[in-house]
Structures are given as structure tokens and as C-alpha cells.
């Protein structure tokens, strides 16, 4: 009876979750994977002991990897139950994201009531930023789940019940075990009672945070070595002020977008957010009872990105996908601004239409985009298997194309040229390579030594990076052109498969 009553009381929410699930099924198998997703599956399937070795082994630049093992451990368990297919792995992220939408609803309902909660859930269901990472085989959906749960526990704990503070501490610790950048959201969340001059809650937050730190301590002791790895070998560049506008694009239509849609997408995103800000200002008179929680959602939507941007001026770590939990709160703020501030119905309908338009555009782009760093790796592997002769070398320009190809066919004898040692792209440490059981070469010369035939795989994007700097072509291709004869060239999406031969002396 209780379940039936719960179902009847929440029919609208369940309808939204079904909509969200159906949207997230679009392209779930057909969308290609990229390096990070292939790494997640290949690394997780090795088991916890191997993952610890592949992450915490010392290198000259700190630990072997910068990510904690929370998500990889969950994925390891999931793979053991449902297999290592792309479909199975992506379903895990979808399930996690659907639970997050439910928590978004609970947070919004707690703050503003059922109507705003439903609109918040709709926004979270259709906005492409959420859809993208609900499908991706990475830790960001799980990170968002734990941080949203910590946010909901924080709200419920205001009634003085310690069970919610315990949940707050546990969720915070699990978020840190999922991604080190969880702290960028947790700091503004924990500072809430300080900003509100609520000393009683501040004391409780301090104790709950201390509990979280104790739970996180087994991994916290390794954080300095992981931080050292970030300082010496991390691909992220220092963000400019332009990141403010790209954040708008990520929050609404999402990126990447075709060049012809960038300006319209930015204009629509800026207009929507500007109108929400305007309504937030008007709420002082139009809706004073909800102004304080409305401002709080705006604070959690934009303060973590600002904090991450500020930190990145000293240590570049700004990656938009780590802001997925802030985007979830952004959905709540947007819903509040357009449902609780006496916005005229015609303008409300216009804004909802804009959001729906940007969502449809972004989802279409997400599902159909197959450029760098994606590629039709199974098709290319089949081509290689059909043409490969014993003794040929199959060499990838770098790990970005190699690892997805290796995931689809680990038996195909292929390898990749490692990144320059100590450089910003040198992110795959020897210990991690050992765990993955992959083949690498120090340089193109070593990879092709004593070979009469070479199959060379490179992204067109990588070639374009060099030609844009005034070079004639990529250095590896330049070497191959000088020592071999290009016999054939085939294109697979953004991937180029070049076949070289040379006469034996």
C-alpha cells in the first residue's frame, strides 16, 4: 500500500525519469568511445589490487595516476555482473544519473515545492551536459550523485538530526574517493552556514566534515603525490576569462557545437542566464520567501566554477566535466527563477522554449558527433585484420587512438608512440601501462625499426595542430615519408590509416 501511494503521489516524477531514461538510450551503443572511456573499462576489469598498483606506484612525477579509485571500483563490480561491453558500462552511468535526477527533485521540493521540483527534474533530464555524462564511462555521474546526496543531507540536517549529518559526511567522503575535485564543490557547500552566520550549523558542518576527512584519510595520505603528478604532468591549460562564456555554453547547449551554431548557442545561453539573474534580482519583491534558497542555488551553481577557475590560475585543473554537480544545482536555480518569481506566462513559455531548443540542438550534436577524439575503431580494426601481414608494424601516433582500438581487439598486434617524458601529455605512467598490458614505443624510429611495412594510425586533428603552427606535417609522418614510401591512405572519421612500405636492402 505504501509503495502504491508513493507511486500515485509521484507519477509526474516517474514520467520524467522515463523520459530521461529514453533520452539517455539514444546512441548508447552506436556512439563511439574515446580514450578515457576505453581506459575506464580496461583498467577497472583488472581488479582492485592491480588498480591500486597502477595508481599509487611512484614515478618521477608523483604517483602513476591522479584519480582515486571510487568509480573504477564500482565499475569493476558492475563489469563482473554484466560484462565489459560499451552498452553495459554506459548503463551504469545512466542508472547513477537517473538516481541523481531523483535527488535533484528532492532538493528542489525541499526548497521550493513540487512544481519547481518537477521543472528542475525536466531540465536535468533534457540538458545535454547531464545527458552526455550520463552516458560516458567515466566517474563524473557518480561524483555528481555523491555531491547531490551531500547537498540533500545538508538541507535535511537543518532539523538537528544527526543521521543526516552522518550521511553528509559519508557522501562527502565518497565524493572525494570518486574525484579529487569534489572539494571544489564541498568547500562552498560547507561554507554556507558561515555565510549565513549560522554558528550552530557551522559547528555541525565542522564535525561532519571532520568525519568525512577521517573516512577519506586512507587515500588522503596519497594526495600530495597525486598533486605532484598534476603539477608536472597534466594536460589542462590555465583558463582565461573566456571560460565564463564557455561555461554558459556547457550549461545549456553543451559543447562541441558546429561553428555556425556557436554564436547562436552563446546568445541563447547568455539571454537565458541573464533573464534568470534578472528574475533573481526581482525576487526580492516578487518572491521574498524563496529569495534566500534561490540565491543559495545560484551560489552553488556558480561558486564552484569560480573557485576552480581561481585555483587554476596557479595550478591548471579547470575541467568543465567536474562541474556536473554544479550544473545539477543550476537546473534547480533556473527552474526557481522561472517558476517562483512571478515571471509572465508568455515569457515563461518563451524561456522554456529556448531551453528546449538548446537541449534538442545539444543532444543531436552529442549523438551525431564523431570527430576527435572519437573514431570508428571496430571498422578500422577490421580493415587492419583483413590487410595485415605477418611482420607488419601497426603503430598509433599516440595513446588516444591506440587504447580504444586495443579495447575492441586486444589480439591485434598494435602499439603506440609514448608521449614525451615529463610533458603535459605524459599521463600514462609505466606502472599503469604494465597493468593494462599494452605495447608502447619510445619513438617512431624504434616502433618501425627493421620493418618493411608499417600501418600508421593518426588523428587528422593531430596533423592539423602541427600545420597550424607552420609545419609541413606531423613529425612522425615526416619521418615515415623520409624512410618509407606511402602506399595507401584511408580515412575513418577523423582517423587516418596510412600504409608505408620500403624496399629491403
The full DSSP string for 266-314 is HHHHHHHHHHHHHHHHHHHHH-HHHHHHHHHHHHHHHHHHHHHHHHHTT
Higher pLDDT, residue 402 or 8: 402
Give the burial class of 282: count Cβ atoms within 10 A of its Cβ; 0-12 exposed, 13-18 middle, 19 or more buried: middle
pTM for this model (two decimals): 0.94
Find the helix packing angle between 288-312 and 86-112, rounded to 10°. Answer: 140
Query: What pLDDT is attached to residue 425?
Result: 67
* pLDDT value at 141 more than 70: yes
Q: What is the mean pLDDT of residues 242-266?
A: 90
**Cα–Cα distance for residue pair 309/292, rounded to 1 Å:** 25
Reduce the DSSP state of residue 219 to 3 states and report it: helix
Give the whole-number percent of the chain exceeding pLDDT 70: 93
Q: CA neighbours within 13 Å on the CB side: how many for 3? A: 0
Q: Where are the domains of the chain?
A: 11-368, 377-501
pLDDT for residue 390 is more than 70: yes
**Cβ–Cβ < 8 Å for 236, 317:** yes
Query: For residue 221, what pLDDT is reported?
Result: 87
- What is the percentage of the chain residues whose pLDDT exceeds 90? 76
Identify which has the larger pLDDT, 284 or 277: 277
Tell me the backbone φ, ψ of residue 58, rounded to 5 degrees: -80, 140
pLDDT tens, 80-138? 999 999 999 999 999 999 999 999 999 999 999 999 999 999 999 999 999 999 999 99
Task: Check residue 2 and give its pLDDT.
Answer: 54
pLDDT band at 231 (very low <50, low <70, confident <90, very high): low
The confidence band for 247, taking pLDDT boundaries of 50, 70 and 90, is: very high
- Whose grid coordinates read 540542438? 361
Structure-derived torsion over alpha carbons of residues 23, 25, 28, 30, reported in degrees to the nearest 10: -90
Give the mean model confidence (pLDDT) for residues 139-166: 93
Instruction: Please state the rounded mean pLDDT for residues 169-176.
Output: 97
- pLDDT of the residue at 4: 58
Q: Look at residue 424 and tell me whether its pLDDT is greater than 90.
A: no
Confidence at residue 5, expressed as pLDDT on a 0 to 100 scale: 60
CB 16 within 8 A of CB 102: no
Query: What pLDDT score was predicted for residue 60?
Result: 64
C-alpha cell belonging to residue 29:
551503443
Per DSSP, 323 falls in state G
Evaluate whether 223 touches 180 at the Cβ level (below 8 Å). Answer: yes
What architecture is domain 377-501? Answer: 3-Layer(aba) Sandwich (3.40)
pLDDT score for 169: 97
Lowest mean pLDDT among 37-51, 57-71, 192-206, 301-315: 57-71
Instruction: State yes or no: pLDDT of 335 exceeds 90.
Output: yes
Dihedral (CA of 309, 311, 316, 319) sign: negative
Sequence-ordered list of residues with C-beta below 8 angstroms from that of 136, at least 6 positions apart, any chain: 36, 37, 90, 93
pLDDT given at position 423:
60
Q: Which of 155-169, 313-327, 412-426 has the lowest mean pLDDT?
A: 412-426
Q: Return the pLDDT at 230.
A: 63
> Is pLDDT of 235 > 90?
no
Enter the C-alpha cell of residue 473. 606535417
Tell me the average pLDDT across 41-56. 93
Which contiguous run of DSSP H or E holds residue 410? none
Task: Note the pLDDT of residue 161.
Answer: 81
pLDDT at 419: 84
Q: Does 3 score more than 60 pLDDT? A: no
The CA-based angle 133-135-136, given to 5 degrees, is 65
> Tell me, what DSSP letter sits at residue 409?
-
| Band of residue 227 on the pLDDT scale cut at 50, 70, 90 | confident
Asked if the model's pLDDT at residue 234 lies above 70, the reply is: no
What per-residue confidence (pLDDT) applies to 316? 87
Range scoring the smallest mean pLDDT among 84-88, 177-181, 286-290, 409-413: 286-290
Mean pLDDT value across the chain: 91
Return the pLDDT at 49: 94
Q: How confident is the model at residue 232 (pLDDT cuts 50, 70, 90)?
A: low
| Structure-block grid coordinates of residue 260 | 555556425
Report, as an integer, the average pLDDT of 180-202.
93
Q: State the maximum Cα–Cα separation within the chain, in Å, rounded to a whole number.
A: 87
pLDDT grade, residue 285 (50/70/90)?
Answer: confident
Q: What is the CA radius of gyration of the chain?
A: 25
Amino acid at each position: 500500500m505504501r509503495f502504491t501511494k508513493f507511486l500515485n503521489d509521484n507519477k509526474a516524477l516517474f514520467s520524467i525519469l522515463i523520459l530521461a531514461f529514453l533520452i539517455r538510450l539514444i546512441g548508447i551503443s552506436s556512439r563511439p568511445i574515446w580514450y578515457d572511456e576505453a581506459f575506464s573499462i580496461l583498467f577497472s576489469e583488472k581488479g582492485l589490487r592491480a588498480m591500486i598498483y597502477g595508481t599509487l606506484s611512484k614515478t618521477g612525477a608523483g604517483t602513476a595516476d591522479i584519480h582515486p579509485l571510487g568509480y573504477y571500483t564500482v565499475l569493476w563490480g558492475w563489469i563482473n555482473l554484466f560484462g565489459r561491453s560499451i552498452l553495459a558500462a554506459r548503463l551504469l552511468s545512466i542508472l547513477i544519473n537517473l538516481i541523481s535526477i531523483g535527488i535533484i527533485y528532492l532538493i528542489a521540493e525541499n526548497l521550493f515545492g513540487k512544481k519547481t521540483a518537477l521543472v528542475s527534474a525536466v531540465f536535468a533530464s533534457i540538458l545535454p551536459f547531464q545527458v552526455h555524462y550520463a552516458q560516458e564511462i567515466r566517474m563524473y555521474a557518480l561524483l555528481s550523485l555523491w555531491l547531490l546526496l551531500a547537498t540533500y543531507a545538508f538541507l535535511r540536517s537543518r532539523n538537528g538530526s544527526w543521521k543526516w549529518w552522518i550521511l553528509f559526511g559519508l557522501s562527502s567522503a565518497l565524493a572525494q574517493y570518486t574525484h579529487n575535485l569534489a572539494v571544489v564543490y564541498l568547500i562552498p557547500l560547507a561554507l554556507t552556514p558561515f555565510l549565513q552566520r549560522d554558528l550552530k550549523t557551522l559547528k555541525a558542518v565542522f564535525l561532519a566534515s571532520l568525519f568525512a576527512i577521517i573516512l577519506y584519510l586512507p587515500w588522503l595520505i596519497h594526495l600530495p603525490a597525486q598533486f605532484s603528478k598534476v603539477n608536472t604532468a597534466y594536460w589542462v591549460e590555465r583558463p582565461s576569462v573566456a571560460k565564463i562564456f564557455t561555461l554558459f555554453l556547457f550549461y545549456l547547449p553543451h559543447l562541441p557545437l558546429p561553428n555556425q551554431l556557436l554564436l547562436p548557442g552563446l546568445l541563447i545561453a547568455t539571454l537565458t542566464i541573464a533573464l534568470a539573474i534578472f528574475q533573481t534580482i526581482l525576487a526580492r519583491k516578487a518572491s521574498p520567501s524563496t529569495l534566500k534558497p534561490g540565491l543559495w542555488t545560484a551560489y552553488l551553481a556558480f561558486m564552484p566554477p569560480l573557485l576552480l577557475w581561481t585555483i587554476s590560475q596557479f595550478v591548471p585543473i579547470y575541467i568543465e566535466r567536474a562541474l556536473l554537480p554544479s550544473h545539477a544545482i543550476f537546473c534547480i536555480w533556473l527552474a526557481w527563477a522561472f517558476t517562483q518569481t512571478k515571471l509572465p506566462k508568455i515569457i515563461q513559455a518563451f524561456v522554456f522554449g529556448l531551453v528546449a531548443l538548446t537541449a534538442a540542438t545539444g543532444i543531436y550534436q552529442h549523438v551525431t558527433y564523431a570527430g576527435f577524439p572519437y573514431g570508428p575503431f571496430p571498422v578500422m580494426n577490421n580493415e587492419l585484420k583483413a590487410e595485415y601481414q605477418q611482420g607488419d608494424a601497426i603503430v598509433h601516433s599516440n595513446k588516444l587512438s591506440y587504447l580504444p582500438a586495443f579495447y575492441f581487439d586486444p589480439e591485434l598486434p598494435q602499439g603506440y608512440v609514448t608521449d614525451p617524458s615529463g610533458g603535459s601529455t605524459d599521463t600514462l605512467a609505466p606502472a599503469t601501462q604494465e597493468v593494462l598490458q599494452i605495447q608502447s614505443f619510445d619513438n617512431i624510429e624504434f616502433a618501425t625499426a627493421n620493418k618493411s611495412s608499417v600501418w600508421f594510425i593518426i588523428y587528422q586533428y593531430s596533423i592539423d595542430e602541427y600545420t597550424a603552427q607552420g609545419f609541413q606535417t606531423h613529425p612522425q609522418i615526416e619521418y615515415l615519408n623520409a624512410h618509407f614510401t606511402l602506399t595507401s591512405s584511408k580515412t575513418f572519421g577523423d582517423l587516418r590509416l596510412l600504409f608505408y612500405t620500403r624496399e629491403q636492402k
